[in-house]
Structures are given as structure tokens and as C-alpha cells.
Amino acid sequence: MTDHFPPNIDMETPSIARMYDFLLGGKDNFEADRKACEALADGIPELVSFANDNRAYLSRAVEHVAAQGVEQFLDLGAGLPTANNTHHAAQRANPRARVLYVDHDPIVLAHGRALISDSAETAFLLADIRDTDEILGAPETTRLIDMDQPVCVMLVSLLHCLPDDSDPFGMVRSLMGRLAPGSCVIFSHIVSDDPDSATWMTDKILSFGTPWGRVRSPEEASVVFEGLELSSPWLDGRDEGPRAVDCATWRMPGSEPRFRPESPEVKLWELAGVAFKR
Ligand SMILES: C[S@@+](CC[C@H](N)C(=O)[O-])C[C@H]1O[C@@H](n2cnc3c(N)ncnc32)[C@H](O)[C@@H]1O
């Protein structure tokens, strides 16, 4: 079914938004996206749980941040809407929460607007996250986001989509520098400390012709937290062990936070953390 897709969509080249939608069990994807996911799953058998663990982390992290009193969310690289979107999670903890969804994929904008109509609490913006000035100056942003109040910048499963020459971490540093104290990041990033696995995944995605960045090491990805104060990944807030952890274990009931997956067979995971500007 393609009748509900916007015109001029490239259906032959897999898109990250549509591949992720497929992995989460969605229907807004094409054969090229499904085949790309199958090819990736050959080397990463846990790919579906990988995506679902990340999405579940997003909800837990948003609820956590909203419960700390943050009311404004800039969901960068938001992806296609699913059952439990950022404003649902945020408004569970704080009914006054407002969310600006930003993505560069036109399908996200079309489906976002169809499924979640713009309201006093939400809007969708089609933009490349590297265009910070354009995003911060857009009418959708100025309507929803008060720059004098804390903002939660969401970078969930996003920065590995950007190559090093885009300077993704410099972009985040400069964005955080413009936000009020009490602002924070919700972050996850595909990482590996096995260079062969990292290269395999990166090369595989680039071989589809899909614009992408790369899998980074946990140390490289952790640069995002520089100058910020990481929250405890424990449900009870205790101060013990690493604070950036495998997303599947971040404030996960019944699980201890772990820096990397329990099984040494699992070479790739999403490093996750929530960090505040004080
Ligand atoms: C893996 S999905 C993650 C979706 C959502 N953040 C989540 O974690 O559930 C990555 C999303 O980032 C978007 N994206 C990638 N590069 C982008 C860019 N330069 N500007 C805006 N969005 C981008 C993709 O279109 C895709 O929807």
C-alpha cells in the first residue's frame, strides 16, 4: 500500500525511519526497507529486540525527565509515530508537557501530522537536525518552546546516523550552550568495542545507499555527556557503577544497569544516558 505516502518518495533506497518502523512492527515501510533489515539481521540476530529496547528506553527516559519538572521536549530524529510517542510518555508524568517532533524524512512529517494533529502541545517540523538555527527559529518551535525555560533535547538512536564530518557532537554542544540551565539530553547511540562488528554494521548500511554515519565506540559516544551531569540509571537513583549504560537496562524494572550486554556474543548495543545542564 503506497497510497498514503507523500509523492516523490524514493521507495528503492532504504530509509532509516522506515527500517526502524519495520523493526518495531509498523506498516509504513517498503520492500527495500524490509530487505535491508533482513540483510542486517544476518549479522545482528538481535536486531528486532535492539530496536524495541531502544524505543522502550525512550519512554522510560521521557517519563523520568518529565517527572523532574521539564515541560518542553525537542525530539530530534523523532522517527515515525508508534503506539507510545514522546508526548504520551511525557504527559503521563506531566500533563503540561509540550513536544516538538523534528525529522528530515518526509514520511515522518506526513504520518506524524496524520496521526498526531498539531495541537497546543505538539507539532512536527521537517528539518535536518544540523540546521540548528532553522529549527530554533521555526514558527512551530517558537510557538511551543520557551528558550528561557529548560528544554529536553532528545537524541535517541540518532547521532550514529551522522558522519564525523558533520561534527554531530559539536552540534549538540553548541545547542546545549544556547539552552537554559536545567535543560538535558536523552541520548542513545549504537556502539561497539569490537571494531570488526562496528565496521560490518556501518559498511552494510552504507552499502544500501542510505545516508548514515557510523557505529562508534562507547568512549566516542560518551563525549556527548561532557559538561553535563548524568542521572543515575538505577530506578532508586542510587550512585553506583557507570551512569551511561546499555539502553535495555537504564532504569529498567527487574534489571541492574549494565555498561554492556550480559552476553559476550552481543557485540553491538545502544549506549544510553540522561544528562542535565546545571
Ligand atoms: C533509528 S530512528 C530513531 C527514532 C526515534 N528517535 C527513536 O529512537 O525511537 C532515527 C531517526 O533519525 C532521523 N534522522 C537521521 N538523520 C537525520 C538528520 N540529519 N536530521 C533529522 N532527522 C534525522 C531518521 O529519519 C529517523 O527517523
> Residue 118: which pLDDT band, with cuts at 50, 70 and 90?
low
Residue 71 covered by a domain: yes
Ligand 1 proximity of 128 Cβ (cutoff 6 Å): yes
Dump pLDDT digits (tens) for 11-47: 999 999 999 999 999 999 999 999 999 999 999 999 9
* Domain presence at residue 107: yes
Q: Is the pLDDT of residue 254 over 90?
A: yes
Question: Which residue has its alpha carbon closest to ligand 1 atom 4?
Answer: 79
pLDDT greater than 80 at residue 116: no
Query: Does residue 208 belong to any structural domain of this protein?
Result: yes
Residue 97 lies in a domain: yes
Residue closest by Cα to atom 18 of ligand 1: 128
Q: What is the mean pLDDT of residues 70-92?
A: 94
CATH number of the domain within which 146 lies = 3.40.50.150
How many domains is the chain partitioned into structurally? Answer: 1
Q: Which of 67-76, 82-91, 136-145, 191-200 has the lowest mean pLDDT?
A: 82-91
Note the pLDDT of residue 1. Answer: 42
Mean pLDDT of all residues in 123-137: 96
pLDDT of residue 17: 97
Domain that holds residue 136: 16-276
Ligand 1 centre to CA of 202 (Å) is: 16
**Residue 1 in domain:** no
HEC string for the chain: CCCCCCCCCCCCCCCHHHHHHHHCCCCCCCHHHHHHHHHHHHHCCCHHHHHHHHHHHHHHHHHHHHHCCCCEEEEECCCCCCCCCHHHHHHHHCCCCEEEEEECCHHHHHHHHHHCCCCCCEEEEECCCCCHHHHHHCHHHHHHCCCCCCEEEEEECCHHHCCHHHCHHHHHHHHHHCCCCCCEEEEEEEECCCHHHHHHHHHHHHHCCCCCCCCECHHHHHHHHCCCEECCCCCCCCCCCCCCEEHHHCCCCCCCCCCCCCCCCCCCEEEEEEEECC
Q: With a 6 A CB cut-off, is 158 part of the ligand 1 pocket? A: yes
pLDDT higher than threshold 50 for residue 2: no
In percent, the amount of the chain with pLDDT more than 70 equals: 97
- The alpha carbon of 241 and the centre of ligand 1 are apart by a number of angstroms equal to 30
In a domain, 137, yes or no: yes
- 242 part of a folded domain: yes
Residue 4: predicted pLDDT = 60
Say whether pLDDT at 155 is over 90.
Answer: yes
Q: In this structure, is residue 117 part of a structural domain?
A: yes
- Ligand 1 within 6 A of 107 CB? no
pLDDT of residue 83: 79
User: From the CA of 175, how far away is ligand 1's center (Å)?
Assistant: 17
